[in-house]
Amino acid sequence: MAKPAHVTHTLEVKGLHAEVGGREILRGVDLTLHSGEITALMGPNGSGKSTLAYSLMGHPKYKVTQGTALLDGRDLLKMPVDQRSRAGLFLGFQYPQEVSGLSLSKFLWTSYMQRHTAETADTAQFDRDLKTHLGYLGIDEAMLKRSLNEGFSGGEKKRNEILQMATLQPIFSILDEPDSGLDIDAVRAVGEAVAKLHSPGSGVLLITHYQRILKYLKPDRVHVMVEGQIALSGGRELAEELEAKGYDWVRLGVSAPN
Protein backbone atom coordinates (compact mmCIF):
# COMPACT_ATOMS: atom_id res chain seq x y z
CA MET A 1 0.00 0.00 0.00
CA ALA A 2 1.32 3.43 -0.93
CA LYS A 3 2.18 5.77 1.91
CA PRO A 4 -0.15 8.76 2.29
CA ALA A 5 1.20 11.99 0.85
CA HIS A 6 2.32 14.57 3.36
CA VAL A 7 0.32 17.77 3.56
CA THR A 8 2.39 20.77 2.53
CA HIS A 9 2.32 23.73 4.90
CA THR A 10 3.50 27.27 4.28
CA LEU A 11 4.27 30.25 6.49
CA GLU A 12 4.49 33.34 4.30
CA VAL A 13 5.69 36.68 5.66
CA LYS A 14 5.48 39.76 3.43
CA GLY A 15 6.55 43.33 4.08
CA LEU A 16 6.56 42.87 7.85
CA HIS A 17 7.34 45.96 9.93
CA ALA A 18 7.46 45.84 13.72
CA GLU A 19 8.49 48.15 16.52
CA VAL A 20 9.44 47.85 20.16
CA GLY A 21 8.79 50.77 22.49
CA GLY A 22 8.08 53.01 19.52
CA ARG A 23 11.36 52.15 17.75
CA GLU A 24 11.08 50.35 14.43
CA ILE A 25 13.12 47.14 14.34
CA LEU A 26 11.70 45.21 11.38
CA ARG A 27 11.69 47.21 8.15
CA GLY A 28 9.91 45.05 5.61
CA VAL A 29 10.75 41.39 6.12
CA ASP A 30 9.88 38.96 3.33
CA LEU A 31 10.30 35.30 4.25
CA THR A 32 8.58 32.07 3.20
CA LEU A 33 8.89 28.79 5.09
CA HIS A 34 7.80 25.40 3.80
CA SER A 35 7.17 22.19 5.70
CA GLY A 36 9.85 19.61 5.15
CA GLU A 37 12.55 22.29 5.12
CA ILE A 38 15.03 23.67 7.63
CA THR A 39 15.70 27.37 7.21
CA ALA A 40 18.52 29.20 8.99
CA LEU A 41 18.20 32.89 9.82
CA MET A 42 21.55 34.47 10.59
CA GLY A 43 22.72 37.99 11.29
CA PRO A 44 24.58 40.23 13.72
CA ASN A 45 23.25 41.26 17.14
CA GLY A 46 20.43 43.79 16.92
CA SER A 47 19.49 42.92 13.34
CA GLY A 48 15.93 41.93 14.24
CA LYS A 49 16.04 38.14 14.27
CA SER A 50 14.47 37.69 17.70
CA THR A 51 12.03 40.53 17.01
CA LEU A 52 10.77 38.57 14.02
CA ALA A 53 10.31 35.47 16.17
CA TYR A 54 8.40 37.27 18.92
CA SER A 55 6.30 39.25 16.44
CA LEU A 56 5.16 36.07 14.72
CA MET A 57 4.36 34.47 18.06
CA GLY A 58 2.34 37.49 19.22
CA HIS A 59 4.38 38.83 22.14
CA PRO A 60 2.57 42.02 23.30
CA LYS A 61 5.83 43.97 23.55
CA TYR A 62 6.33 43.68 19.78
CA LYS A 63 3.91 45.73 17.69
CA VAL A 64 3.43 44.84 14.04
CA THR A 65 2.72 48.04 12.11
CA GLN A 66 2.69 46.80 8.51
CA GLY A 67 2.77 43.61 6.50
CA THR A 68 1.21 40.17 6.61
CA ALA A 69 1.99 36.71 7.98
CA LEU A 70 -0.10 33.83 6.66
CA LEU A 71 -0.01 30.29 8.03
CA ASP A 72 -1.54 28.07 5.35
CA GLY A 73 -3.47 31.11 4.15
CA ARG A 74 -4.76 32.03 7.62
CA ASP A 75 -3.97 35.46 9.02
CA LEU A 76 -1.55 34.69 11.82
CA LEU A 77 -1.43 38.29 13.04
CA LYS A 78 -5.14 38.31 13.89
CA MET A 79 -4.83 35.26 16.14
CA PRO A 80 -4.26 35.52 19.92
CA VAL A 81 -1.10 33.86 21.18
CA ASP A 82 -2.73 30.61 22.29
CA GLN A 83 -4.48 30.23 18.96
CA ARG A 84 -1.19 30.66 17.11
CA SER A 85 0.22 27.83 19.18
CA ARG A 86 -2.79 25.61 18.52
CA ALA A 87 -2.52 26.42 14.80
CA GLY A 88 0.93 24.81 14.85
CA LEU A 89 3.47 27.54 15.64
CA PHE A 90 6.14 26.93 18.29
CA LEU A 91 8.80 29.23 19.70
CA GLY A 92 11.88 27.91 21.46
CA PHE A 93 13.10 30.78 23.63
CA GLN A 94 16.63 32.11 23.69
CA TYR A 95 16.28 32.68 27.44
CA PRO A 96 13.75 30.12 28.83
CA GLN A 97 11.97 31.24 31.98
CA GLU A 98 11.93 29.38 35.28
CA VAL A 99 8.54 28.37 36.71
CA SER A 100 8.72 27.33 40.34
CA GLY A 101 6.27 24.66 41.53
CA LEU A 102 5.38 23.38 38.04
CA SER A 103 7.16 20.12 37.28
CA LEU A 104 8.56 19.52 33.82
CA SER A 105 6.42 16.38 33.42
CA LYS A 106 3.23 18.27 34.35
CA PHE A 107 4.12 21.09 31.98
CA LEU A 108 4.71 18.70 29.08
CA TRP A 109 1.48 16.79 29.70
CA THR A 110 -0.53 20.02 29.98
CA SER A 111 1.02 21.30 26.75
CA TYR A 112 0.21 18.02 25.05
CA MET A 113 -3.41 18.21 26.17
CA GLN A 114 -3.73 21.70 24.69
CA ARG A 115 -3.53 19.97 21.30
CA HIS A 116 -5.78 17.02 22.16
CA THR A 117 -9.11 16.08 23.65
CA ALA A 118 -9.81 13.30 26.14
CA GLU A 119 -10.77 11.15 23.15
CA THR A 120 -7.66 11.77 21.07
CA ALA A 121 -5.06 11.81 23.87
CA ASP A 122 -3.00 8.64 24.13
CA THR A 123 -1.24 8.45 27.49
CA ALA A 124 0.71 5.30 26.66
CA GLN A 125 1.98 6.76 23.37
CA PHE A 126 2.84 10.02 25.12
CA ASP A 127 4.97 8.13 27.66
CA ARG A 128 6.73 6.09 24.95
CA ASP A 129 7.47 9.16 22.86
CA LEU A 130 8.69 11.07 25.89
CA LYS A 131 11.21 8.36 26.74
CA THR A 132 12.42 8.31 23.15
CA HIS A 133 12.86 12.08 23.09
CA LEU A 134 14.67 12.06 26.43
CA GLY A 135 17.10 9.60 24.89
CA TYR A 136 17.65 11.78 21.81
CA LEU A 137 18.52 14.73 24.01
CA GLY A 138 20.47 12.95 26.71
CA ILE A 139 18.06 14.13 29.43
CA ASP A 140 17.83 12.11 32.64
CA GLU A 141 14.25 11.07 33.52
CA ALA A 142 14.81 12.47 37.01
CA MET A 143 14.61 15.95 35.50
CA LEU A 144 10.90 15.41 34.81
CA LYS A 145 10.22 15.79 38.54
CA ARG A 146 12.00 19.13 38.82
CA SER A 147 10.32 22.51 38.50
CA LEU A 148 10.37 23.87 34.95
CA ASN A 149 13.84 25.24 34.22
CA GLU A 150 14.48 25.93 37.91
CA GLY A 151 18.14 25.31 38.66
CA PHE A 152 18.69 24.01 35.12
CA SER A 153 22.01 24.74 33.45
CA GLY A 154 22.00 26.67 30.18
CA GLY A 155 22.35 23.44 28.24
CA GLU A 156 19.54 21.76 30.16
CA LYS A 157 17.22 24.68 29.45
CA LYS A 158 17.95 24.54 25.73
CA ARG A 159 17.45 20.77 25.60
CA ASN A 160 14.19 21.23 27.46
CA GLU A 161 13.00 23.65 24.76
CA ILE A 162 13.62 20.98 22.12
CA LEU A 163 11.85 18.43 24.33
CA GLN A 164 8.80 20.70 24.33
CA MET A 165 8.98 20.95 20.53
CA ALA A 166 9.11 17.16 20.29
CA THR A 167 6.09 16.81 22.57
CA LEU A 168 3.94 19.38 20.74
CA GLN A 169 4.94 18.34 17.19
CA PRO A 170 4.23 21.79 15.71
CA ILE A 171 3.92 22.58 12.02
CA PHE A 172 6.57 25.29 12.25
CA SER A 173 9.18 25.57 14.98
CA ILE A 174 11.02 28.85 15.48
CA LEU A 175 14.16 28.15 17.50
CA ASP A 176 15.76 31.33 18.80
CA GLU A 177 19.49 30.67 19.19
CA PRO A 178 19.24 27.14 20.62
CA ASP A 179 23.05 26.94 20.47
CA SER A 180 23.86 30.06 22.49
CA GLY A 181 25.86 29.41 25.64
CA LEU A 182 26.30 25.71 24.91
CA ASP A 183 29.49 23.69 24.83
CA ILE A 184 30.42 21.57 21.82
CA ASP A 185 28.76 18.39 23.12
CA ALA A 186 25.50 20.18 23.96
CA VAL A 187 25.39 21.86 20.54
CA ARG A 188 25.78 18.47 18.90
CA ALA A 189 23.06 16.92 21.08
CA VAL A 190 20.61 19.72 20.34
CA GLY A 191 21.42 19.82 16.63
CA GLU A 192 21.15 16.07 16.16
CA ALA A 193 17.89 15.94 18.13
CA VAL A 194 16.27 18.64 16.00
CA ALA A 195 17.43 16.84 12.86
CA LYS A 196 15.90 13.54 14.06
CA LEU A 197 12.64 15.22 15.03
CA HIS A 198 12.32 17.09 11.75
CA SER A 199 9.81 15.52 9.37
CA PRO A 200 8.35 16.16 5.89
CA GLY A 201 5.22 17.53 7.56
CA SER A 202 6.98 20.20 9.61
CA GLY A 203 9.37 23.10 9.10
CA VAL A 204 12.07 24.70 11.23
CA LEU A 205 13.29 28.30 11.34
CA LEU A 206 16.61 28.24 13.17
CA ILE A 207 17.91 31.60 14.39
CA THR A 208 21.65 31.58 15.04
CA HIS A 209 24.81 33.67 14.84
CA TYR A 210 27.14 30.80 14.00
CA GLN A 211 27.26 27.94 11.54
CA ARG A 212 28.51 25.30 14.02
CA ILE A 213 25.02 23.91 14.75
CA LEU A 214 24.19 23.89 11.03
CA LYS A 215 26.56 21.00 10.32
CA TYR A 216 24.15 18.80 12.29
CA LEU A 217 20.98 20.26 10.75
CA LYS A 218 22.01 20.91 7.14
CA PRO A 219 19.62 23.77 6.29
CA ASP A 220 17.88 23.94 2.95
CA ARG A 221 18.07 27.73 2.90
CA VAL A 222 20.11 30.37 4.73
CA HIS A 223 18.93 33.96 5.06
CA VAL A 224 20.93 36.87 6.48
CA MET A 225 19.10 39.64 8.32
CA VAL A 226 20.68 43.07 8.59
CA GLU A 227 18.99 46.19 9.96
CA GLY A 228 15.54 44.64 10.04
CA GLN A 229 15.51 43.18 6.55
CA ILE A 230 16.57 40.02 4.74
CA ALA A 231 19.72 41.25 3.03
CA LEU A 232 21.01 38.04 1.47
CA SER A 233 19.85 34.47 0.83
CA GLY A 234 21.55 31.30 -0.27
CA GLY A 235 22.37 27.71 0.56
CA ARG A 236 24.41 26.20 3.37
CA GLU A 237 27.60 27.49 1.79
CA LEU A 238 26.45 31.02 2.67
CA ALA A 239 26.68 30.16 6.38
CA GLU A 240 30.25 28.97 5.89
CA GLU A 241 31.10 32.19 4.07
CA LEU A 242 29.66 34.24 6.92
CA GLU A 243 31.71 32.26 9.42
CA ALA A 244 34.84 33.13 7.48
CA LYS A 245 34.09 36.75 6.59
CA GLY A 246 31.72 38.03 9.25
CA TYR A 247 28.74 40.29 8.53
CA ASP A 248 30.26 43.64 7.61
CA TRP A 249 30.46 42.79 3.92
CA VAL A 250 26.74 42.02 3.91
CA ARG A 251 26.02 45.37 5.52
CA LEU A 252 27.99 47.10 2.82
CA GLY A 253 26.20 45.14 0.12
CA VAL A 254 29.43 43.98 -1.50
CA SER A 255 31.49 40.83 -1.12
CA ALA A 256 34.69 41.17 0.82
CA PRO A 257 37.82 40.55 -1.24
CA ASN A 258 39.38 37.12 -1.00
Structural domain includes residue 32: yes
- Measured CA to CA, the distance from residue 72 to residue 187 in angstroms comes to 32
pTM score, whole prediction: 0.89
- Measured CA to CA, the distance from residue 20 to residue 27 in angstroms comes to 12
Structural domain includes residue 230: yes
Structural domain includes residue 227: yes
Q: Which pLDDT score, from 0 to 100, does residue 6 have?
A: 64
Structural domain includes residue 2: no
Domain that holds residue 64: 10-252
Q: Which pLDDT score, from 0 to 100, does residue 255 have?
A: 42
- 221 Cβ contact partners less than 8 Å away, ≥ 6 residues apart: 37, 39, 40, 233, 234, 235
State yes or no: pLDDT of 151 exceeds 70.
yes
Structural domain includes residue 111: yes
Task: Kindly indicate the confidence band of residue 5, based on its pLDDT and cuts at 50, 70 and 90.
Answer: low
Encode pLDDT of 188-239 as tens digits.
888 988 998 898 999 999 999 888 899 898 899 999 999 999 999 999 999 9
Encode pLDDT of 93-127 as tens digits.
888 888 999 999 999 998 888 877 778 888 899 99
- 51 Cβ contact partners less than 8 Å away, ≥ 6 residues apart: 18, 20, 25, 26, 62, 228
Structural domain includes residue 4: no
Structural domain includes residue 243: yes
Furthest C-alpha separation in the chain:
62
132 close to 196: Cβ distance less than 8 angstroms? no
45 close to 246: Cβ distance less than 8 angstroms? no
State yes or no: pLDDT of 92 exceeds 70.
yes
Q: Which pLDDT score, from 0 to 100, does residue 185 have?
A: 86
Where do the DSSP E strands lie in 114-159? 147-148
Structural domain includes residue 5: no
Domain count of the fold of the chain: 1
Best CA proximity match to 173, nearest among 84, 107, 43, 79: 84
What mean pLDDT comes out for the span 148-155? 87
Residue 225's domain is classified under what CATH number?
3.40.50.300
